[in-house]
Chain A
Amino acid sequence: MKILKKIVSSSMFSPLLALFLILLFNLVIQPNFLSVEIRDGRLVGNLIAILNRSVPVMLLAIGMTLVIATGGTDLSVGSVLAVASAVSISLIRGGDVNPTADTAMPLIWVVLITMLVGIALGLWNGFLVAKIGMPPVVATLILMVAGRGLTQNITRERSLTTGHLPFGEIANGFTWGIPNQCWIALAVFLLFWYFSRRTAFGLFVESVGANRSAANHAGIRAAVIIVVVYALSGLCASIAGILSASNVRVIEPMNTGQNMELDAIVAVVLGGTSMRGGKFNLGGSCIGAIILMALTQTMYFYGVPVEFALSIKAVVIVIVVIVQSPVTHKFIRREASAQ
């Protein structure tokens, strides 16, 4: 009983339960939905596809989790993703001289420079929020809009493609039978988890988010923490941008990363991190991203018309959030004690 209680009260319980229910629904209706087979030494199947496709949102959600934990929000991640895609593809193409050459720069440099761009954009957000004191929504909205413009500038308002094979392999390749993307997401998650839980960073983020004034009184430089989380969010968005560019080998300035900031925020909320700031749950956010993709994938699978798909997704999200909300928990507790 005690163990059961501990499991139920664990922060991972409700996101995992939600994911389990979605998968169970599929399993009951379509028993082979979850089957995974090995083809050419690669794992193939719906489960793998869901996992693989959830990676970009998952990466955004990891960075977003820290931002939300400080009581902020980062609306610019979709645009930063687009900027990063554009930067990486144009670096690979080596400018416009010869679109088929694709040998301008060693791959590692492309990746590092793109990540630096992401961090720089994140620092800008952090500066506006922490030093200028702008409301996070406004500050990141600026970059959300400006990032699109920046992307257009980089690509000269066109879609850019690349045929560079090693670049494409970053996202599309497999290692030990599992898509590279999944390994990258796992690595980023582990790094962030280690950085936030095996240093004092996580504690500082949570205290700044839960009570900035108290954190300041305790000698924590809240402004620095806030700048760092936005920078990390920018970093995550740039990694997601590289993967997205590598995956489809094209950047469309107005479409790449469109609305993904919203998916990332939803993933974080589904994962059990409160929008009010404070305690955060990186693992939950990753599960949240998988839940979103599982939903989408399920609807593709059953051929739900596109015009209904978004509405159904919205309804499911509302249900999950209501189930998780403290108001509901309070209500349940009150009802329980009333009986």
Chain B
Amino acid sequence: MNDVILQMSGIEMNFPGVRALRNVDFTLRKGEVHSVMGENGAGKSTLIKCLTGVYQMDGGTILFDGAPIRPQSVSEAMKIGISSVYQEVNLCPNLTVAENIFIGRQPMKAGVFVDWAKMNRLSQKTLERFNLNINVARNLDTYSVAVQQMVAIARAVDISAKVLIFDEPTSSLDKDEVERLFDVMRKLKAEGMAIIFITHFLDQVYQISDRITVLRNGELVGEYTAKDLPRIELVTKMVGKDFDRITNLKKVVPKEGRGVVIEANNISVDASISNVDLTLREGEILGFAGLLGSGRSETAKALFGIDKISGGVVSIKGSAVNLRGPAAAIKKRIALCPEDRKQDGVVTDLTVRENIVLALQGRMGMFQYISRKKQSELADKYIKLLGIATPDAEKKIGELSGGNQQKVILARWLATEPDALILDEPTRGIDVGAKAEIMRLTLELCEKGMAVAFISSELEEVVKLSNNIVVMRDRKKVAEFKEEEIDHDSILQTIAGGEKE
């Protein structure tokens, strides 16, 4: 047990309305690369933020080298010996490489003057350890992201970090750069550094990790040795198997002769999805399966006019359209519940009523004002219909729980009476009961003839609801499962791709 450097146990973290972490344990040993895996909202980043002092956890203990710690800030965590390297490097691009490595602890001459020569010399030496021979007197932003990352690592190592966290470090690196980064990680590992690695690239997880901890829904699924956990099992553990709570939901039986609402023909978006085909019919649910970053949300954004389509054709009800933005899509009676509810959905300062009428009012324009009375009626109608738990429509949406906020956003779109409703992760970050309710609502809407596209990180939900399922991987559509072909395990296989067990 001596090689355990970090022991987090019983970690609890609550945000208004959501329990982000429930009794999570995490153990990190010296000289290992330990991947933390999980889908959107699983709690990975919350766990890391508790560790690095960004959040103050509500419960649980952290033992670092046997001593309890409770970092209150990132700098405090760094002093203890916990540093992170992010995808976006958190250094100062306008300072020199050497300054970045020594910022806040510059070597001094006569107590008041910075000893530039010494600082540059030491920096050069530090970087040589990582086979990096660059001019340390030049500004950091003159170098590539990969080099900047190396500098960040060098800085972390130089301030004698014992735990290094790599949070999605490879997202913006090319293949060779990733290889170089892995070399450095292996080298650090050999020197006894404990490394936490977070990524959504499965290949890379298996390339470098010794151990894998899987989180789902804020709970610990388990800790595994990488070589003993086949890829398919890892994916299963990530996407979950919460059968029981949704077993009583029944799929909509598609009616004969139903019309096509949205048809996408070979659509591509620059630097995003390529060559995606799909057909969304009224009265059916089209599910999207695939891991984070596989192109699910990107496809939704393209259909809603947020991302500009660079190739292919989207037709709505038979006529080709060129959507120039969400406003145009809404006019065509398409609605999108965005993936990132906080950033793209709720307007925190506004009331439940205002949030509900927003998209409808947006479509009607500035001068066709929906009267206060009509607004209240609409709001009350949807509060009742969706069972939104709020004392009244005048409460600020920010004061509701995550699940209720999501229902308000859903209400916003239902108020526009759309023909097609795209739900991007509607069940993310909300509690289990609310999830089942959102899914039940989705089925009801579809039953009434609405065309629904359903995107979720939880494969179980997608399988449970969808009439057809599009499987995405690497920003391409790799398969489509229709009606009776839908089978949990073969979809899993397809998502995981590559190696088969």
B369 and A200 contacting across the interface, CB-CB below 8 Å:
yes
Q: Which residues of A contact B283 (CB under 8 A)?
A: none
Chain A residues contacting B306 (CB-CB under 8 Å) are 216-217
User: Residue-by-residue, is A226-264 near B (CB-CB < 8 Å gives 1, otherwise 0)?
Assistant: 000000000000000000000000000000000000000
Give Cα A201 to B363, complex, Å: 13
Given contacts A200-B369, A213-B344, contact A218 B326 (CB under 8 A): yes
In the complex, which of the residues B329, B349, B412 contacts A279, with contact meaning CB atoms closer than 8 Å?
Answer: B349
Q: What is the CB-to-nearest-CB distance from A167 to chain B, in angstroms, rounded to a whole number?
A: 35
Which residue of chain B lies nearest to A220 when distances are taken between CB atoms in the complex?
B362
Contact across chains for A200 and B345 when beta carbons are under 8 A apart: no
List the B side residues contacting A31 at CB < 8 Å.
none
Cβ contact within 8 Å between A214 and B344? yes
- A210–B366 CB distance below 8 A: no
Known: A198-B369, A200-B365. A220 touches B350 (CB 8 A): no
Complex Cα–Cα for A219 and B327 (A): 4
Query: Which A residues are CB-close (under 8 A) to B327?
Result: 219-221
Q: Quick check: which of B137-145, B261-269, B288-296, B353-361 contacts chain A, the rest being far away?
A: B353-361
B368 and chain A: residue at smallest CB distance: A200
Complex Cα distance A214/B356, Å? 12
A217 touches B338 (CB 8 A): yes
Partner of A216, one of B326, B331, B354, B361: B326
B358 touches A215 (CB 8 A): yes
Contact of B346 with A211 in the complex, beta carbons under 8 Å = yes
User: CB distance A207 to B350 under 8 Å?
Assistant: yes
Whether A211 contacts B348 by the Cβ 8 Å rule is yes
Given A199-B367, A200-B361, A203-B358, CB of A219 within 8 Å of CB of B326: yes
Smallest CB separation, B129 vs chain A (Å)? 40
Report if A206-B326 is in contact (Cβ < 8 Å); known contacts: A200-B370, A217-B344, A218-B412.
Answer: no
Shortest Cβ gap from A86 to chain B (Å): 33
Contacts known (A200-B365, A203-B354, A203-B358); A217 close to B347, Cβ less than 8 A = no
Q: Cβ of B248 < 8 Å from any Cβ of A?
A: no
Complex CA distance for A278 and B351, rounded to whole angstroms: 12
Cross-chain contact B347 with A214 (CB below 8 angstroms): yes
CB distance from B395 to the nearest CB of A (A): 13
Q: Chain B's nearest CB lies how many Å from the CB of A212?
A: 10
Q: In the assembly, what is the distance between CA of A157 and CA of B331, in Å?
A: 53
* Chain B hits for A221, CB < 8 A: 325, 327
> From A278, which residue of chain B is reached at the shortest CB distance?
B349
Residues A210 and B347 in contact in the complex (CB < 8 Å), given A199-B366, A220-B358: yes
Does B330 interact with chain A (Cβ within 8 Å)? yes
Nearest CB in chain B to that of A198: its residue: B369
Bound Cα distance A214, B357 (Å)? 13
Pick the contact of B347: A199, A201, A211, A219 (CB < 8 A): A211
With both beta carbons as reference points, the residue of chain B lying nearest to A213 in the complex is identified as: B344
- Is B2's beta carbon under 8 Å from chain A? no
Q: Is A204 an interface residue (CB 8 A)?
A: yes
Answer whether residue B343 sits at the interface, using C-beta atoms and an 8 A cutoff: yes
Nearest CB in chain A to that of B331: its residue: A219
Across the interface, which residues of A come within 8 angstroms of B361, CB to CB? 200, 203-204
Shortest distance in angstroms between B409's beta carbon and chain A's nearest beta carbon? 9
In the complex, chain A residues whose CB is within 8 Å of the CB of B153: none
Q: Is B336 an interface residue (CB 8 A)?
A: yes
- Of B326, B344, B347, B366, the residue contacting A207 (CB under 8 A) is B347
Q: Which residue of B lies closest to A274 (CB)?
A: B349
- The interface residues of chain B lying within 8 Å CB-to-CB of A210 are 347-350
Closest CB of chain A to B328's CB: distance in Å? 8
Give Cα distance in the complex from A213 to B368, angstroms: 23
- A198 to B325, alpha carbons, bound, how many Å? 27
User: What residue in chain B is nearest A209 (Cβ atoms)?
Assistant: B349
Please report the C-alpha to C-alpha distance between residue A4 and residue B338 in the assembled complex, in whole angstroms: 40
Which residues, 150 to 198 on A, are CB-close (under 8 Å) to B?
Answer: 198
A213 CA to B348 CA, complexed, in Å: 12
Q: Which residue of B lies closest to A210 (CB)?
A: B349
Measured between beta carbons, the chain A residues less than 8 angstroms from B326 are 216-219
- Tell whether, in the assembled complex, residue B363 and residue A219 are in contact, meaning their CB atoms are under 8 Å apart: yes
CB nearest neighbor in A for B304? A217
Residue of A nearest to B375 (CB): A203
B369→A199 contact, CB < 8 A: yes
Within 8 Å CB of A201, what residues of B? 366
Contact (Cβ within 8 A) B369 A218: no
B366 touching A213, Cβ below 8 Å: no
- Cα–Cα, bound, A196→B289 (Å): 44
CA distance A199 to B366 in the complex (A): 6
User: Which residues of B (389-409) have their CB < 8 Å from a CB of A?
Assistant: none
> B408 to nearest A CB, angstroms?
12
Task: Give, as a whole number of angstroms, the nearest-CB distance from A219 to chain B.
Answer: 4
User: Are B345 and A217 within 8 A (Cβ)?
Assistant: yes
**Can you give 16 contacting A-B residue pairs, CB < 8 Å?**
A199-B367, A200-B361, A200-B364, A204-B362, A206-B354, A210-B349, A211-B346, A213-B344, A215-B358, A216-B306, A216-B325, A217-B306, A217-B326, A219-B359, A278-B347, A279-B350
* 4 closest residue pairs by CB, A with B: A278-B349, A219-B362, A219-B330, A210-B349
Q: A211-B348, A217-B345, A218-B362 known; 4 other A-B pairs, CB under 8 Å?
A: A206-B354, A210-B348, A214-B338, A214-B346
| B residues whose Cβ falls under 8 Å from a Cβ of A | 306, 325-327, 329-331, 336, 338, 343-350, 354, 357-359, 361-370, 412
